[in-house]
Structures are given as C-alpha cells and as structure tokens.
Amino acid sequence: MKNLNLTLDNLEEMIPESFTQEQKAKVKTLFYKELALRTHRFYNGKMQTLPKAPVVGFNWFNAWYTPGVSNISTTIRDNNDTSYELSNRGNLVAVVSDSTRVLGDGDCTPPGGMGVMEGKAFLMKYLGGVDAIAVCVDSKGPDGKNDPEKIIDFVKMSQYSFGAINLEDIAQPNCYRVLDVLREECDIPVWHDDAQGTACVTLAGLINALKLVDKPIGDVKIVYFGAGASNATIARIVNAAGADPAKSIMFDSTGALHTGREDIKKDKRFYRKWELCQITNPKKVETMEEAMKGADVLIALSKPGPDVVKKEWIEVMGDKPIVFVCANPVPEIYPYAAKEAGAYIVATGRGDFPNQVNNSIGFPGILKGALMVRARKITDNMAIAAAEAIAKFSEKRGIHIEDIIAKMSESEVFPYEAADVAMQAIKDGVARKEMTWQEAYDLAKHDIEHARAATQSLIDNGFIKEPPQQLLNEALETAINKVK
C-alpha cells in the first residue's frame, strides 16, 4: 500500500483515487475509529496526573503533606472559599457521565464512556488550560433502570472537590432533570455539554451563517430534525437569542412537535419537549416534506447517516439554505450530497469537513471563564455570550461559506471567549470574584499557553512518545479493506 508516509494531514491523498466521494468519506470515518483503538491501547488511555508543585528535596513533603498540610485543612474548614486558593479546586472539573448515550452508540455501560470522558478532559486541558478528570458512574437502581436521582446525589456529594461539573452522555429524559436540579442546588457551575455546549456553538455558527446569507435571525424559518437533549436545548438557546419559535418546527422519532402531541404532554419526564410543543409549529405541520418547503435553516442532530436527511428535503428549502447536520460519527447527509441538493452553507460536527460545529470550540472557554470568576452557575446568558464571542472572533478574522466558525486550532478564540463569559457571569450576579475583561483574557491565555507548552515539553523530552507510523498504516489499511 502507498501509506508509508501517512499523516493525518495527507490522509485524503492516501485513499485510492478510484473510490467515490462516499467511499472516501467512509474510509476516513473507519480510519479514525481504527486509529483510536490502536493508539488508546498503545498509550493506555490519554490522560495522567502530574504534580504542579516542585519536589526540591524530600523534606518538602513535610509541607506538601504532613505535618504542614493540616494548616491547609483548618484554614479551608474555617472558610470554604479558600479551597479555591489553597487547592487545585478552582481549576478542576469533573466530567460526569453514566454513559447511557455515548455519541451515536447508545448505552455503553459506565466504563464504556471512559474514552469520551477522558477525551473531554484532554480538550479542556489543551484548549482551555483547565484540569479535568473522567468520572463514569452507575446510575441503575434496584429495578435495573437508570435513575437520575443517583447522578444528582453523587454530584451534590462530590461538588466540594471541584470548581465545576461537566455532565456528559446522559440519555434523555434523565438528562433534563439532572441538569435542572443540579444547576439550582449546587454551589458550583453544572454544565451539560451535550446540550448547552452544542447549543452555544450551533448558535455561533448560525449567527455567522445568517450574516453570510443576509437574513435576520428573527425572520428565518428553522426546522429541527431530532428532539434529543442537544436539539431541544439548541432550540431554547436560539429562541433566547432572537429566533421566532412560531417560525420553527421540530421533529422527534415519532413525528412533529406541537400542542396535539398528547404522548409528550402526558409524560412529565419530557417537560422540556412539551415546552417546545407549546411554542413551535402553530399550524401543526406533520411531515418533513411539508416542513422543509421554504425553510431557511435545517438543524439536524438525530442519528448517524448518511441518507438520514434526504436530498429531496433540501431541494425544496428557500433561498441560500443553511444545513447543519451534526450527528456523530457520520452526519445525517454527507456535505457533498447536501450541496448537490442545493444547500448553500453546510456544517457538520466533524473536523475533517468544512464548518465544524462542535462543542469543542465552546466548552473549554466557557468553563475557563466560569472558573476564573468562581461562578456559582452557568446561566443561559453566559452561553449566549460565549456564542456571540465565538461568532465575533470568527468574523474578525474573516468568514465565508466554507469557513463560518473558528476551529479548535485557533488558540486565540478560547481566552477571548473565556473573558466574555467571565464578564457575563459578573453581570448576571453569579460570580464570587470580580476582574476586568483584560485580566480574565490574560489569565486564560497564560493558562492555555502553559498547558500547551507543558505537553510539548513532555513530547520533546520523550515522556510522551510519538505514535508509531505502523499504527497509522494498519488503521488505514483496515479501513480501506472494509470499504472495498
């Protein structure tokens, strides 16, 4: 095979030219899955714990541990807020999941979510300068059903060790109650990244996409395909940012949402969906075919594709249609197919296609901003402020239809976003600590640069080894053979 010099940058060139666009897209998806398996086994995961204080001699353990450290315990006992200064709590996030809705793979059992939660911790550290640990918990009750109260109790009991909690991959409807209860009853920010994080970055992408097609957010007709935690929260945040809910229609696996959906009304666990039933789709449109006629925007977060979103649906949309197809690991329709059907701007959740609308551009900066001012919660206003910051940063450096939003490789976006979030927390009255925008920006930038430099130092000094070329070659060969 012609893959001896394979890198992640020249992957496209190493795929056989005879393959169709769809085959090439499948190869890339399978390659990353195969590569992930091989590299995670090679490194035994991707996170570790290292000291932040020096060991200048073994007598220093008398200060780092006993007897000196007792003074730390009693000082924090007398004023719990000093835990943010005397421990790593102020920059530490727990990524908590019961692994019941992991990406597009469903219930993976509690330890099955470790790869994703470690990945979240990895991104927080490298992109946001935030320390994080993966915590996968068993939420099953005696009856074998997943019980949201178990997650709620766990987080409430463990909150004193962390500066914030990032909820992840908790299936609906449990995710709604877990977030809503913990946001109000915890004294630290509790953030559901699948929902709020995805909503924030989707709004950022939508703001810039609408600028490019010159359409005000309050005037556009939006169709939401999928009504899980992500899309339901996207709809709420987009409405809060100025969209008209009466001009939107949402679909779940059963059909369109509207006030006639007695099944949703009766099931009190789905109260977030029922809220949307009451304010969207006043004409009770029932089918996607009808809903998509003249639509300006499609936001799909349903199930992995391709061909989940039909070309025929896009063909009947309005002028210069915007299509966000963000299922992972495969979008509901491949971007090339959406473009063939007439889409003007297409975004997905993947970084190997143009316009990645993925929460990786949001949560590191949002959590950093909340942590820096020791926020008690992350408000919807803070999420909207983050979206507007991302959109503004992206617009300043230039946007076009194939590049509507900053990429995670653009490190400057994160301190910019973090500073805006910190200022909004102060404005909303949820911050314990005040600082100026410039102070917040400088602190976030310093911590992010420190995290990246420390990682690079570990690589340069051989403590983190480069992935063997053989692993890349084997992953590509396996992927190509599966698609042939």
State pLDDT tens for residues 445-457: 999 999 999 999 9
483 — pLDDT class (breaks 50, 70, 90): very high
- pLDDT value for 350: 86
Q: Dmax over Cα atoms in the chain, in whole Å?
A: 75
- Cα 430 → chain centroid: 23
Q: φ, ψ for residue 100 (rounded to 5)?
A: -90, -10
CB 380 within 8 A of CB 396: no
Q: Can you tell me the distance from the alpha carbon of 341 to that of 310, in angstroms, rounded to the nearest whole number?
A: 9
DSSP letter (8 states) at residue 375: B
User: Using one digit for the tens of pLDDT, what is the confidence trace for 147-184?
Assistant: 999 999 999 999 999 999 999 999 988 999 999 999 99
Last residue of a domain, one of 347, 378, 410: 347
- pLDDT value for 105: 85
Same domain, 396 and 481: no
64 found inside a domain: no
CB 435 within 8 A of CB 380: no
Last residue of a domain, one of 188, 207, 236: 188
CB 121 within 8 A of CB 95: yes
Nearest one of 353, 399, 467 to 34, comparing CA atoms: 467
Domain extent at residue 204: 196-347
- pLDDT higher for 277 or 271? 277
Give residue for tokens 């076009």: 400
Give residue for tokens 């029932």: 286
- pLDDT higher for 244 or 26? 244
Choosing from 24, 26, 28, 120, the catalytic residue is 120
343 found inside a domain: yes
Q: Can you tell me the distance from the alpha carbon of 148 to that of 481, in angstroms, rounded to the nearest whole number?
A: 43
Here the CATH number for the domain that contains residue 259 is 3.40.50.720
Q: Can you tell me the distance from the alpha carbon of 321 to that of 316, in angstroms, rounded to the nearest whole number?
A: 9
Same domain, 395 and 448: no
CB 350 within 8 A of CB 33: no
- 3 pLDDT higher than 80: no
The two structure tokens encoding residue 101: 């809705």
Stretch 290-312: mean pLDDT, rounded?
A: 95
CB 385 within 8 A of CB 423: yes
Here the CATH number for the domain that contains residue 136 is 3.40.50.10380
57 found inside a domain: no
Residue 68 host element (H or E): none
Determine the angle formed by the axes of helices 229-240 and 380-397, rounding to 10 degrees: 80
Give residue for tokens 């020249």: 10
Same domain, 314 and 448: no
- The count of structural domains within the chain is 4
CB atoms within 10 A of CB 411: 15
**Helix/strand/coil for 323:** strand
286 found inside a domain: yes
CB atoms within 10 A of CB 58: 7
49 found inside a domain: no
User: Using one digit for the tens of pLDDT, what is the confidence trace for 345-361?
Assistant: 999 998 889 999 988 99
Same domain, 260 and 324: yes
Same domain, 153 and 177: yes
Q: Can you tell me the distance from the alpha carbon of 33 to that of 201, in angstroms, rounded to the nearest whole number?
A: 24
Contacts for 119 with CB less than 8 Å, ≥ 6 apart: 46
Residue 354 host element (H or E): none
Give residue for tokens 């059907």: 341
Same domain, 265 and 384: no
Q: Can you tell me the distance from the alpha carbon of 148 to that of 171, in angstroms, rounded to the nearest whole number?
A: 10
Give residue for tokens 């060790």: 161
- 341-354 in b/e burial notation, b at 16+ Cβ within 10 A? bebbbbbbbbeebb
CB atoms within 10 A of CB 23: 15
Catalytic site residue 65?
Answer: yes
Choosing from 2, 43, 65, 427, the catalytic residue is 65
Catalytic site residue 224?
Answer: no
Same domain, 221 and 309: yes
Q: What predicted TM-score, i.e. pTM, was given to this entire model? A: 0.92
